[in-house]
A and B are shown apart, each in its own frame.
Chain A
Amino acid sequence: MPNSYSETYFPVLLQMVLATAVGFALVALGVILGYRVKNKVKDSPYECGVQPVGSAKERFSVKFYLVAMLFILFDIEAIFLYPWAVVYRDLNHGANRMFGFVEMLIFVVLVLAGFFYIWKKGVLNWQADPGPASVPPAKAPAAYSLSEK
């Protein structure tokens, strides 16, 4: 039984040292033993095996950023559900019957109100004209639409 602060964390330190050592060792082995080829094809960016069609330095539709932001919001909602589910039984015990359920219900309803808001505001509508929130991209917006693929 570890009894001091340093003893408790000794395994963690050990693991960090080992992980670092293994990482360095693998890279070093690659450098020492590996056979290297350098050519134009190998230096080109990897695009799922398809020939690259142009520069990656393009303007992206601002819609990506909106969707990413919304994804984080709803992702966090899902993350909150996990610890809640773990303590669900304790939260709903005895005098607290239904308490945990109602608490989460309030939270989910609030997030749902947010979902309703972004839905009605047309944020989820990928095809619609870019609203005042989005800067029109330099190229035609159709180039970014999913349906084209």
Chain B
Amino acid sequence: MPANLWPSSTDLLRFGPEILLTLVGTLMMVLEPLLDNKRVFRTLSLVTLLGAIGVTMAAHGVPGLSYANMIIVDGFATFFRLLVLGVAILTVLLSGDYLEKEGHETGEFYALLLFSVVGQGIMACANELIMVFVGIEISSIASYILTGYLRDDKRNNEAAMKYFLLGSFATAFLLYGVAWIYGLTGSTNLNDIRTVLSSPNFTNSASLVGMSAALMFVGFAFKVSAAPFQSWAPDVYQGAPSPVSAFMSAGPKAAAFAVFIRVFLTAYGPISDTWVPLVAIAALATMTIGNFAALRQTNVKRLLAYSSIAHAGYVLVAIAAHSTVGTQAVMFYLASYVFMNVGAFAVVTFFARKGEQYVNIDDLSGLAVRQPAMAAMLTIFMLSLIGVPLTAGFFGKFYIFKAALDSNLVWLTILGLLNSAVAAYYYLRILVVMYMREPGVATNNMDEAPFALRLTVWASALATLVLGVMPGLLLDVAGRWVLALGR
């Protein structure tokens, strides 16, 4: 038994964002049956998330390990904590009017959202495999429920059921991988595992270590929707409420990439020769499957789901580069991806209206005539997703493929660029429908977008453009906070 188990004030501060979110989330569950005015929860969750950003920055002032080295606060953790908190704020802004319209605004939605962010925060700062598992589970379980949030909606139910069954199955693989590496090295701490694996006295077979890495790869690949574990994503993103799809395609995904990178670069760093080819092949398969499947979609949400799979593929390219530049590229890419993707889903939320009746690409015809501002915003997001210069997506792709070239992954770079060309087709198709067709049933009689939704869309578009014009702002931060390779 350690001499002192009490956490110090520094420990509490380092874990502060998660503690704050848990407390307020629980408070919301207690207040939910007592309050009739459910709008209170919007404000409360926004204030809490802003507070959590403040605590995250305060925690960043005292970097280091806490709670028996189970969590680590460093620039990398702070970056992803800020990212998931930002996604949550955009989601809250997006959800309020949507839920009110569907007649289902309750405190539970916001409480679950906060709990999900708690899990993602833990994933961002976990330095230990059990913490990784706990973080992923907290984040996922909340997401499963959010997916099926409108419980009278058949699509919601189907999506939640699929997500839950496949998700729990995939997490079991991750846990099995943890068990293997614990058996081989006697530790679940990432730094300790690295020390043991790189020690010359380590005599266990490399294939056994590779097996544990492969099992954990299955778990992470599922969470980031990488091939061949991507099949859940289209069904879930299509079936879930649009704001939840926006959230899931951004927050949990970014956090899963953070933990993926930390585990593979830290713990499995010494055996990178065995996993880099695996990640490279998964990257190629993910990009190709995502882009080619997206070509044939007629549903906008499903199209964005396949596009999200393809983008996970690009991020995997940068991970396969296995370099500091690659990790920096991932950080930049995910930050810009989050804005363009949440923005695109926000426009879809606005357009789909009550009961999400209008989610087909053809429904968008003539949107530019009836809602020029919204159409222009969606255009920005689509161009950024393609990777057109002057948008964040361009520099995101640029840094990723530069990192891949630096690591001599020439074949992957060429195939990735070809993939981007394929992707342009389906994003441009949306623009063509919006700008070159006459307004139809769906585009006539549209109401003004509510203020919070407009705010989300404008903020996302602004971020996309600012990062596209001045990428240095974020790249400098990513460079300072990047995860060092040799730790």
With both beta carbons as reference points, the residue of chain A lying nearest to B1 in the complex is identified as A90
Q: Which residue of B4, B6, B29 contacts A114 across the interface (Cβ within 8 Å)?
A: B29
Classify the interface of chain B: helix, strand, loop or mixed: loop
Q: Which residues of B contact A110 (CB under 8 A)?
A: 26
Could you tell me how many residues of chain B have their Cβ less than 8 Å away from some Cβ of chain A?
Answer: 13
A113 touches B6 (CB 8 A): no
Q: Which residue of A99, A113, A132 contacts B30 across the interface (Cβ within 8 Å)?
A: A113
B29 touches A96 (CB 8 A): no
Q: Which residues of A contact B11 (CB under 8 A)?
A: none
Q: Which residues of B contact A70 (CB under 8 A)?
A: none
A95 touches B3 (CB 8 A): yes
Q: Is B137 an interface residue when CB atoms closer than 8 A count as contact?
A: no
| Bound form: Cα–Cα A90–B29 in Å | 34
Q: What sequence of 0s and 1s flags, for each residue 103-147 of chain A, a beta carbon within 8 Å of any chain B beta carbon?
A: 000000010011011001100000000001100000000000000
Residues 77-108 of A contacting B (Cβ, < 8 Å): 90-91, 93-96, 99
B6 touches A121 (CB 8 A): no
B5 touches A99 (CB 8 A): yes
Q: Which residue of B6, B30, B32, B152 contacts A95 across the interface (Cβ within 8 Å)?
A: B6
Q: Which residue of A95, A117, A132 contacts B29 across the interface (Cβ within 8 Å)?
A: A117
A116 touches B6 (CB 8 A): no
Q: What sequence of 0s and 1s flags, for each residue 263-296 of chain B, a beta carbon within 8 Å of any chain A beta carbon?
A: 0000000000000000000000000000000000
Using known A-B contacts A96-B6, A132-B151, A132-B152, determine if residue A117 contacts B1 with beta carbons closer than 8 Å.
Answer: no
Shortest CB–CB separation between residue A64 and chain B, in angstroms?
18
| Bound form: Cα–Cα A133–B30 in Å | 19
A99 touches B6 (CB 8 A): yes
A116 touches B30 (CB 8 A): yes
Q: What sequence of 0s and 1s flags, for each residue 1-29 of chain B, a beta carbon within 8 Å of any chain A beta carbon?
A: 10111100000000000000000001001
Residues 208-248 of B contacting A (Cβ, < 8 Å): none
Q: Is B34 an interface residue when CB atoms closer than 8 A count as contact?
A: yes
Q: Which residue of A93, A116, A120 contacts B1 across the interface (Cβ within 8 Å)?
A: A93
Q: Which residues of A contact B32 (CB under 8 A)?
A: 117, 121
Interface residue ranges, A against B (CB under 8 Å): 90-91, 93-96, 99, 110, 113-114, 116-117, 120-121, 132-133
Interface residue ranges, B against A (CB under 8 Å): 1, 3-6, 26, 29-30, 32-34, 151-152
**Sample of 24 A–B contacts (CB below 8 Å):** A91-B1, A91-B5, A93-B1, A95-B4, A95-B6, A96-B1, A96-B3, A96-B4, A96-B5, A96-B6, A99-B5, A113-B26, A113-B29, A113-B30, A114-B29, A117-B29, A117-B30, A117-B33, A120-B33, A120-B34, A121-B32, A121-B33, A132-B151, A133-B151
Closest 3 CB pairs of A and B: A120-B33, A95-B4, A117-B29
